[in-house]
Structure 1
Amino acid sequence: MPRPLPSLNALLAFEAAARLGSVSKAAVELHVTHGAVSRHIRSLEEELGLALFQRQGRGLALTPAGQRLRDTSTAAFAQLRDTVESLRPEAGHTPFVLGCPVSLLARWMIPRLERLMADLPDLDLHLRPQEAPFDDALGGLDAAVLAGEAPWPASWHVRPLLRERIGPVVSPEFAKARRLIGRPPEVILELPLLHTQSRPRVWSSWAQAIGMVPAQLSMAQGYPHLYHLIEAAVAGRGLAMAPEPLVADDLASGRLVAPWGFVDSSAQWVLATPSRMPAERSEALARWLKTEFNRHAE
């Protein structure tokens, strides 16, 4: 006689892969290997006697049976998680895991961590660096702070913190830095413009915002991440396009200068939390982040 329910681990693996649309992302969320998720899904399909996924190009697509099981299992697990969370007597004091892009973590969050701990002593904050884009489930996170544009995933609750402002920055030690002071921004056409692979269009966006023709710009050395880009600017390698919060401390200390200031971009800094999480759990952190992000803009 077949079991009333398949293995819970198999159902968890299937639900995560179906919700995230990826076996790899499911493995990261569940803290297991890619192979373990694949084996659980395969055993579930064998027990049910039908296919739940089918190959579609390089990815996976749910079969009609898979869609039905995904809808039911996602709702059931969400309800189960919410109930368990509400039963924990110390739910308000469990670690709060905040995901941050590596550049924000290194250049903005860590320098302010002591003040954050002093202002929010009851928040047991665990910071998690993130290089890849955040997934729709914010897997393994209680919240994420990031810069981006709407539309946001429907599974997120998003609190705006600050309109993103961007501008060219350069080290005062850069050989040609003195030529920039008091001159129009068109002078950058003569200078090496550093760029990052993570935001390839940011120079073009800035040029359009100030009335320049983006096609006139000539890119120099590229860097894989924003953190490396800003460090290259500090080292005097050329001009970098940077978000204002990430260079605010360098501007204040004189390590960098912003010859033409900053302009609004189309992005916003936001705090995103899973929609299923009670809003009050992240409310204090959201207020603190908004205050800190706006501090340099005053």
Structure 2
Amino acid sequence: MSRPLPSLNALHAFEAAARLGSVSKAAAELHVTHGAVSRHIRSLEEELDLALFQRQGRGLALTAAGQRLRDASTAAFAQLRDTVESLRPEAGHAPFVLGCPVSLLARWMIPRLERLMAELPELSLHLRPQEAPLNDGLEGLDAAVLAGEAPWPPGWRIHPLAAERIGPVVSPGYAQSHGLASDRPALRGQTLLHTLSRPDAWARWASSAGIDPDDLEPGPGFPHLYHLIEATVAGRGIAIAPEPLVANDLASGRLVAPWGFHEVSAQWVLATSVRRSDPRLEPLVAWLKAEFAQ
């Protein structure tokens, strides 16, 4: 006779703690006490006669057995949740909620929205602007598009879309009046603009372009990319910006990129919760990759 499964409550508590890397976070997610999660994990270890966690400094680390059980239990609970959700009558008509930074939403997603709806008609998309940092569980979202780099929150599954490329952009008038030549970056003494959310963007670009970051003196910062671009178009200085978000300005001639764009360590990704899967996700990832490639 096959042995029965351990308590599902114990497995659920272990899965949450292993995925989140914290008993306290697991307790908050499951709406139980810290002690309840600890007792479930202890009873599971006793039943399996295996150590699933080991102390590492002031935190916990999974053992090899714990890693195997985490992978299996996370996948199993995700499949169970998805199946139950798919059985609900309204599941097939629920909108797909996609979070986007405000600048990406306004300057990249919305201009492509009509084409997205035409090419993925089964995707009832709801776009949600994101100003604040996203939390570990991506609560309220099915997925989020963003630029960043590892380490990612433990509760996220990352779908890479494209390497991030950034570069200096400037108005044609500013480039002409300041004698900016395309064959060599001449940035010493120039007014270098940036967004407050990316204060290190100039240094990152300089390193990728083979320029000593210490030779640059970043100037005024702006709270949003929209303000940064409009200040640049008005001739206030040279801005550093992601290529996809200024592509239309370059195409229209409002801005020029005298020294091109360089890849940095960050990348554009689609983030989803490890606890969820959705059949609409794969076509969306493919569509986003194709659009970024253009």
Give the TM-score band, short-chain normalised: 0.7 to 0.9
Partner secondary structure for residue 187 of structure 2: helix
1:135 — aligned with what? 135
Distance 2:26 2:230 in 1: 34
Q: What is the rounded CA distance, in whole Å, between the counterparts of 1:127 and 1:20 in structure 2? A: 29
Residue 82 of structure 1, CA deviation? 3.6
How far the C-alpha of 1:230 sits from its partner, in A, is 2.4
Could you say which residue in structure 2 is the equivalent of 1:273?
A: 272
Q: Give CA deviations for 1:104-140 in whole Å, capped at 9, x if unaligned.
A: 0011111111111111112110000001221111110
User: 2:26, 2:107 → 1: CA distance?
Assistant: 30
Cα pair distance change 1:120/1:213, threshold 3 Å: same
Q: Which amino acid aligns with 2:115?
A: R
Amino acid at match of 1:156: W
What residue is the counterpart of 2:251 in the other structure? 252
The 1:219–1:67 alpha-carbon spacing in structure 2 relative to 1, beyond 3 Å, is farther
Change (3 A) 1:175 1:261: closer
Cα distance between partner residues in 1 of 2:41 and 2:219 = 47
Q: Map 1:167-246 onto structure 2 (within 5 A).
A: 167-174=167-174, 179-185=179-185, 187-246=186-245
Residue 196 of structure 1 aligns to which amino acid in structure 2? Answer: T
Percentage of identical aligned residues? 64
Bigger mean CA offset, 213-222 vs 95-104: 213-222
Q: Give me the whole-angstrom Cα distance separating, in 2, the residues matched to 1:68 and 1:215.
A: 54
**Counterpart residue identity of residue 236, structure 2:** R
1:86 aligns with 2:99: no
* 1:99/1:177 CA distance change after superposition, 3 Å: farther
How far is the alpha carbon of 1:150 from its aligned partner? 1.6
Confirm whether residue 103 of structure 1 aligns to residue 103 of structure 2.
Answer: yes
Any conservation in 2 of the 1:102–1:227 contact (CA below 8 Å)? no
* Residues 174 and 236 in structure 1, CA contact (< 8 A), matched pair in contact too: yes
- SS for the counterpart of 1:229 is helix
Contact kept in structure 2, 1:165 and 1:244, CA below 8 Å: yes
CA contact (8 A) 1:104 1:246 kept: yes
Partner of 2:53: none
Partner of 1:285 in structure 2? 284
State the 1:183 CA deviation: 4.7
- Distance change (3 Å), C-alpha of 1:101 and 1:67: farther
Q: Which runs of 5+ in 2 are unaligned?
A: 1-23, 45-73
* Contact 1:93-1:123 at 8 Å conserved across structures: no
1:70/1:107 CA distance change after superposition, 3 Å: farther
Please name the residue that 2:7 is paired with. none
In structure 1, stretches of 5+ residues that fail to align are 1-17, 27-40, 45-51, 53-62
Q: Is the 8 A contact 2:194 2:241 kept in 1?
A: no
Q: Return the alpha-carbon distance in structure 2 between the equivalents of residues 78 and 223 of structure 1.
A: 41
Counterpart secondary structure, 2:280: helix
Give the RMSD, CA atoms, in angstroms.
Answer: 3.1
- Give the aligned partner of residue 112 of structure 1: 112
> Which amino acid in the other structure matches residue 85 of structure 2?
E
Cα 1:228/1:67, change in 2 over 3 Å: farther
1:123 is aligned to 2:110: no
Is 2:172 the partner of 1:155? no
Runs of 4+ in structure 1 displaced over 6 angstroms?
A: 69-72, 77-80
Q: 1:69 to 1:189 in 2, by over 3 A?
A: farther
Matched-pair contact (CA < 8 Å) for 1:167–1:261: yes
Q: Distance in 2 between matches of 1:20 and 1:219?
A: 42
Relative distance call for 1:218 and 1:68 in structure 2 (3 A) is farther
Report the counterpart of residue 17 of structure 2 in structure 1: none
8 A Cα contact 1:19 1:70, kept in partner: no
When residues 124 and 279 of structure 1 are mapped into structure 2, their CA distance, relative to the original with a 3 A threshold, is closer
> Compared with structure 1, are the counterparts of its residues 91 and 183 closer, same or farther at alpha carbon in structure 2 (3 Å cutoff)?
same
Query: How many angstroms does 1:236 deviate by?
Result: 2.1
